[in-house]
């Protein structure tokens, strides 16, 4: 059994979308997935990509993915990487694919001169929280994620 991590290519789009839907089901957020395939593909693989994806494969079969993009720390004065989604098929959990994906991110962060990797985890997702702690991640106590979307975003834009 060999785990490989590789950058996604346009031919992976349907696999990535299937992983996103599986992640949404796991997080009990299936009704929140509203992505449009063409627009999503353009944002990943078009002339100005807004995010990147790594694919985890076990013996050449896709078993997981991670979607990320760059952010920037004004305090550090350097970019960072924000991990939006990380998902490994339940049948492949424990294979090392999750850690391999995060290790690949760490390598990318170092190669690109990033100060840090960041992500959010649902507070009820104890298996993920334990896994993240096991690799040295620390929770950012005292910080609350905020969001403006939908009609509130339109109203704020004026």
Q: What is the pLDDT of residues 70-97, one digit of tens each?
A: 999 999 999 999 999 999 999 999 999 9
For residue 90, what pLDDT is reported? 94
| Predicted local confidence at residue 144, as pLDDT | 87
The one catalytic residue among 65, 87, 105, 132: 132
Domain architecture of the chain: domains with CATH: 3-157 (3.40.630.30)
Catalytic (active site) residue 82: no
Residues 6+ apart with CB under 8 A from 12: 53, 55, 62
State the pLDDT at residue 55.
98
Rounded distance, CA 93 to CA 105, Å? 18
Residue 1 has pLDDT above 90, yes or no: no
* Structure-token pair, residue 142: 């005292």
Calculate the alpha carbon distances from 90 to 14, 48, 113, 128 in Å: 19, 33, 33, 12
What predicted TM-score, i.e. pTM, was given to this entire model?
0.93
């Amino acid at each position: 059994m060999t785990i490989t991590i590789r950058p996604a290519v346009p031919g992976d789009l349907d696999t990535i979308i299937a992983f996103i839907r599986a992640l949404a089901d796991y997080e009990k957020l299936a009704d929140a997935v509203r992505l449009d395939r063409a627009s999503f593909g353009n944002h990943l693989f078009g002339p100005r990509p807004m995010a990147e994806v790594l694919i985890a494969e076990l013996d050449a079969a896709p078993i997981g993915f991670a979607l990320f993009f760059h952010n920037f720390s004004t305090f550090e004065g350097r970019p960072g990487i924000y991990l939006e989604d990380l998902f490994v098929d339940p049948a492949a959990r424990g294979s090392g694919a999750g850690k391999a994906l995060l290790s690949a991110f760490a390598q990318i962060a170092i190669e690109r001169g990033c100060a840090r990797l960041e992500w959010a985890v649902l507070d009820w997702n104890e298996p993920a929280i334990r896994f993240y702690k096991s690799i040295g991640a620390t929770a950012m106590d005292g910080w609350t994620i905020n969001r403006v979307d939908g009609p509130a975003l339109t109203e704020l834009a004026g």
